[in-house]
């Protein structure tokens, strides 16, 4: 609504006492501010590595900052506290966090326009249903993979903002994965099929500690999913499916990279937590290796779908089953390699027997 002329004139002519001016924030030297520290773009642009220079780039090993003050700003005595929050760098940090965040924002893609959906043609019913079953499983997985990091962001100390930024990029990645697998399920006349047992997903979202969550989700669960994405070039029936698996695998590599180096940081700085982390891995491994004595057929729907896709149909189910066992061997050995890099090579002797049987000597 427009202001009438009389009101405007009154506002212009009325005298108002000016507020008291306090320019103390300009006294940078008194506040110890590193004024004049110029950030210069590098080969990849003005990345986090370029701006985190000098004192503001030093991530504190411990922080008493319980407010939302960002690292590098001047503390305010009357700042309200924010509930929760980790104070130790080792609780949440990974040395590759800045790099992974920058890669994430530079390599975003769209499920609507970057997937050649027009390359999907009619498929035999058994192949289409197997692909739809796989997409149903992956849609459920990506729901949890997006929900879980979102729970932890408010609990991260603002001094460790790089980790917050990375987790936000992961949530966007997982939203896109959930979106693209759901689209593939409906793109060729199939649809979503059987929901699979949720035990493994509950273990992820019910984690009570950040390192517990990261070990279970980033290193173990997403490691197994990454191995599945890598075989997408083999099981993809058309260029659209191959592109989906390729792009999702590209994103998943970042999540794995964070988790492995976070575990390594914990092992390097808090080695007394080794047994605690082994306990977390015990929990998740029991969900990654369905017991063959389990009578619930739903536990094996995913493996059967993969066998159909890898064998080229139900008629080649036995061949597909052998190939899928080879993939399982690859998944377990890659998982063991990641743990070794993180400093947990002793996991080889402690791994769930149903997984350990696939380990190479």
- Structural domain count of the chain: 1
The answer to whether position 346 is within a domain reads: yes
Lowest mean pLDDT among 12-16, 39-43, 274-278, 346-350: 12-16
In a domain, 16, yes or no: no
pLDDT band at 183 (very low <50, low <70, confident <90, very high): very high
Q: Does residue 105 sit within a domain? A: no
In a domain, 327, yes or no: yes
Lowest mean pLDDT, pick from 121-135, 187-201, 213-227, 284-298:
284-298
**The predicted structure's pLDDT at residue 238:** 96
Counting every residue written for the chain, the total comes to: 361
Quick check: 214 pLDDT over 70? yes
271 in any annotated domain: yes
Whether 133 is covered by a domain: the verdict is yes
The stretch 128-157 carries a mean pLDDT of 94
pLDDT above 90 for 92: yes
pLDDT at residue 296 tops 70: no
pLDDT of residue 10: 67
Most confident option among 35-39, 209-213, 228-232, 287-291: 209-213
Question: Residue 140 domain-assigned?
Answer: yes
Contact between 258 and 214 under an 8 Å Cβ cutoff? The reply is yes
pLDDT of residue 74: 80
User: For the domain that residue 144 is a member of, what is the CATH number?
Assistant: 1.10.620.20
Residue 84: pLDDT over 80: no
Whether residue 86 has pLDDT greater than 90:
no
Mean pLDDT score, 141-169: 93
Q: What pLDDT, on a 0 to 100 scale, did the predictor assign at position 13?
A: 65
What are the angstrom distances between the C-alpha of 12 and each of 3, 4, 17, 328?
A: 12, 13, 14, 77
Instruction: Give the pLDDT confidence score for residue 37 in this predicted structure.
Output: 77
Q: Which domain holds residue 130?
A: 124-356
Q: What is the pTM of this model?
A: 0.88
Whole-number pLDDT of residue 29: 63
Residue 263 lies in a domain: yes
pLDDT band at residue 295 using 50, 70 and 90 as cut-offs: very low
Q: How far is the C-alpha of 248 from the C-alpha of 180, rounded, in Å? A: 9
User: How do residues 7-48 score in pLDDT, each as one tens digit?
Assistant: 766 666 666 677 778 777 777 665 556 677 788 888 889 888
Residues 301-332: pLDDT tens digits? 888 999 999 999 999 999 999 998 998 999 99
The rounded percent of the chain whose pLDDT value lies above 70 is 91
């Amino acid at each position: 609504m427009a202001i009438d002329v009389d009101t405007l004139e009154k506002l212009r002519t009325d005298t108002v006492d000016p507020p008291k001016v306090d320019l103390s924030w300009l006294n940078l030297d008194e506040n110890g501010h590193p004024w004049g520290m110029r950030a210069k773009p590098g080969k990849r642009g003005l990345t986090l590595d370029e701006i985190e220079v000098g004192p503001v780039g030093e991530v504190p090993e411990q922080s008493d900052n319980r407010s939302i003050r960002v690292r590098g700003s001047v503390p305010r005595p009357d700042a309200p506290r924010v509930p929760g929050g980790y104070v130790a760098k080792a609780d949440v940090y990974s040395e590759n966090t800045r790099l992974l965040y920058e890669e994430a924002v530079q390599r975003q893609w769209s499920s609507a326009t970057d997937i050649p959906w027009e390359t999907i043609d009619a498929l035999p019913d058994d192949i289409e249903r197997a692909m739809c079953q796989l997409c149903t499983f992956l849609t459920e997985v990506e729901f949890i993979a997006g929900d879980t990091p979102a729970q932890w962001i408010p609990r991260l100390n603002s001094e460790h903002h790089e980790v917050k930024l990375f987790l936000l990029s992961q949530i966007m990645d997982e939203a896109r994965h959930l979106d693209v697998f759901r689209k593939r399920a409906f793109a060729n006349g199939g649809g979503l099929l059987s929901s699979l047992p949720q035990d493994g997903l509950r273990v992820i979202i019910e984690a009570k500690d950040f390192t517990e969550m990261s070990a279970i989700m980033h290193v173990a669960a997403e490691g197994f999913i990454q191995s599945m994405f890598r075989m997408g070039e083999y099981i993809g029936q058309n260029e659209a499916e191959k592109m989906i698996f390729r792009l999702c695998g590209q994103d998943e590599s970042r999540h794995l990279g964070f988790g492995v180096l976070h575990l390594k940081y914990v092992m390097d700085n808090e080695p007394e937590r080794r047994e605690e982390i082994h306990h977390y891995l015990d929990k998740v491994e029991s969900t990654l290796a369905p017991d063959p004595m389990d009578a619930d057929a739903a536990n094996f729907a995913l493996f059967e779908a993969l066998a159909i896709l890898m064998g080229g149909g139900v008629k080649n189910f036995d061949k597909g089953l052998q190939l899928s066992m080879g993939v399982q061997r690859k998944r377990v050995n890659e998982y063991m390699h990641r743990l070794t890099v993180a400093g947990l090579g002793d996991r080889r002797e402690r791994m769930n027997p149903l997984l350990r049987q696939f380990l190479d000597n």
